[in-house]
Amino acid sequence: MKAIAEITQSPLFAKQKKKLHKNRIRDLDEAIRTIVNEPETGHLKIGDLGGIRVYKFQSMQEQVLLAYEVVENHLYLYAFGTHENFYRRLKKYLNR
């Protein structure tokens, strides 16, 4: 797999990130660094979310899911959040 050359945030991702506290942003940035170093680290989804990967990480004793996709050497960050209704909101966002 090629190294990640470019990272694109979806408008939803950018809006969610803007509302976070600094320590949570640090945890999120660390998760993104992990994905950049190992793009296949997340679990590949099937069905309606086929092609999307979800990486799980801890932030302030809470599990957070991060949805992303790697196309060629481009990383697309779609959304992140707790497990509650995460997949439902992600599906709704992607099927606009």
CATH number assigned to the domain comprising residue 37: 3.30.2310.20
Domain limits for position 30: 6-94
On whether residue 1 sits in a domain, the answer given is no
pLDDT means per 10 residues, the chain with 96 residues, are 88 95 96 95 94 95 96 95 94 87
Q: What is the pLDDT of residue 2?
A: 72
Is residue 32, in this structure, part of any structural domain at all? yes
Instruction: Characterize 48-81 residue by residue with b for buried, 16 or more Cβ atoms within 10 angstroms of its Cβ, and e for exposed.
Output: ebeebbbbebebeeeebbbbbbbeeeebbbbbbe
User: Given this model, what pLDDT does residue 39 score?
Assistant: 93
What pLDDT does residue 1 have?
61
pLDDT at residue 20, rounded to an integer: 94
